[in-house]
Structure 1
Amino acid sequence: MPNASPASDADPAVVARRRAFGRRLRGLRSGVARTQASIAAEAGIDRAFYANVEAGKNNISLDKIFSLADALGVDVVELFRGLSSRTEL
């Protein structure tokens, strides 16, 4: 069973939200000077899948979001800080 679906079949607002989340995730990862591979491994996520989450191409499950927060050493709310449910296109 796959972790998530690709964003290509989603509506534009959903795609914009995934991209915003990916940018936030990338910023947090860069802030702790970690590689995609190290964060993905610690969170139990395939590195290629993780790269696609950062690129806004894949949707990610709630369980994996909590795992990413743990791997980054942040509270889960930090993954969403500055994002809006009404992301502009």
Structure 2
Amino acid sequence: MPPSPPPSERVLARRRAVGDQIRAARLHANLTQESVALTAGMNLGQYNRIEQGHSSALLDTLIRIADAIGVPLTHLVREE
């Protein structure tokens, strides 16, 4: 199987937007990155890379993050 192509600029921009929405929801809930990562069952570095938009997250991971913050999944991934 050939390697997948690098993500397009649209995908990278959307990944950053999702990270921004995760950060905004976390801050609104007065939670630390560490507490969300722990509750979501991830390490802090992995969580930080997702929130910064440097790494994409599996759907299961996004569901766990939304649950840890206490918001619906759609709140983290909706397009503005």
**TM-score, normalization by structure 2:** 0.87
Sequence identity of aligned pairs in percent?
A: 36
Unpaired runs of 5+ in structure 2? 1-5
What's the C-alpha RMSD, in Å, of the aligned pairs?
Answer: 1.1
Deviation per residue, 1:49-82 (Å, 9 max, x gap): 111111110000011111111101111111123x
1:3-53 residue CA offsets vs partner (Å, 9 max, x unmatched): xxxxxx422111101000000000000001111010000001111111111
**2: distance between equivalents of 1:10 and 1:26?**
22
Q: Which runs of 4+ in 1 moved over 4 A?
A: none
Secondary structure of the residue aligned to 2:37 is helix
**Matched length:** 75
Q: In structure 2, what is the equivalent of residue 53 of structure 1? A: 50
* Structure (1/2) with the larger helix percentage: 2
Greater RCO (CA < 8 Å, at least 6 residues apart): 1
The residue aligned with 1:32 is 29
